[in-house]
Amino acid sequence: MTHVARVLRAAAKRLEDHELKDPLGADFYVGPGIDESVRLLRQWADDCEAGKK
């Protein structure tokens, strides 16, 4: 794993871990915010590992 990919994956994990949840585990915020950001960070990490970026 490249350094950039490792940093992107760590950022995605931190963002996902700090997302607010209700007591039943559901997301408080429904929309493209945090979930979309996490998806993009992971996609960029995959692209870095594949040599696309």
What is the per-residue pLDDT across 1-53, written as a single tens digit (0 to 9) for each?
689 999 999 999 998 887 766 677 666 665 667 888 899 999 999 999 998 75
Q: Give me the pLDDT at residue 41, please.
A: 93
Residues 6 or more apart whose CB falls under 8 angstroms from that of 19 comprise 27, 28, 29, 34
In the prediction, which pLDDT does 31 show? Answer: 61
The two tokens of residue 5 are 């990919």
Q: Phi and psi for 14 in degrees, rounded to 5?
A: -60, -45
Both tokens of residue 45? 């990490």
Which residue carries 């209700």 as its tokens? 22
Number of residues assigned to the chain: 53
